[in-house]
Amino acid sequence: MTLVCFVGMTKATFASAKNDAARRDAVRRHAMFVARLERFEGTDLHEILLLPGPVAVSGDVLAAAALHTRAEPALRTQVLKVASHPLKVEVAAKEAEREKGLMFRRSMPAEEGMLFIFDDPGYYAMWMKNTLIPLSVAFVDRAGVILNIEDMEPQTLDSHLAAGPALYAIETNKGWFAAHHVKAGDTVTGLPKR
């Protein structure tokens, strides 16, 4: 688990510097801060904790921040055919991957989504806790037939239930299924077993 924590400098810090040496030191620290921040561009970190300096932070706060900001390993991807439409999905096959789902994501490319693979067929439900983007979910049975499709709003706790025993769920940007004329009864091909 990695905590990314930077102590930054504000304009007020620079303006309050008493002399040229203090200003040069403030500029040097700011340049180091920017260089360290640039190293993390393009990572899978959900948040980078920026603290205005100087600050004192308790161990509990740092531990909580570390849990929130750690980089997650990338999920494997696969291309499915939903009816006749290709959809690139991240595969969430483990319990922890399914629990996290698309939480904290700020966006998702138009022709992408997430495939949830459950351990056994069942009447599963999805919700949108800590999910920042509107989504649609299709519940799919073991034969690859779409049981039902539900639209879901961000940051809600409403349960969206499978209409039958589902082995899979596919989440995409809200409206993707409707825009591609995909409906219950259509077939999904290319589904992995686990």
Which residues contact residue 140 at a Cβ distance below 8 angstroms, ignoring those fewer than 6 apart? Answer: 146, 147, 166, 167, 168, 169, 170, 188, 191
C-alpha triplet 132, 108, 86: angle, nearest 5°? 135
Characterize 109-123 residue by residue with b for buried, 16 or more Cβ atoms within 10 angstroms of its Cβ, and e for exposed.
eeeebbbbbbeeeee
Nearest-angstrom CA–CA distance, 184 and 55: 55
CA 23 vs. chain centroid, Å, equals 40
Nearest-angstrom CA–CA distance, 160 and 66: 31
pLDDT in tens, the chain (194 residues): 333 333 343 333 434 456 666 656 655 554 554 444 444 444 443 333 444 444 444 444 444 444 444 456 789 999 999 999 999 999 999 999 999 999 999 999 999 999 999 999 999 999 999 999 999 999 999 999 999 999 999 999 999 999 999 999 999 999 999 999 999 999 999 999 86
Nearest-angstrom CA–CA distance, 84 and 164: 23
CA proximity to 173, closest of 104, 93, 107, 126 = 107
Please give the domain boundaries of the chain with CATH numbers for all domains: 5-69 (no CATH), 77-189 (2.60.120.1140)
Full 3-state SS string of 45-61:
CCCCEEEECCCCCCHHH
CB 173 within 8 A of CB 192: no
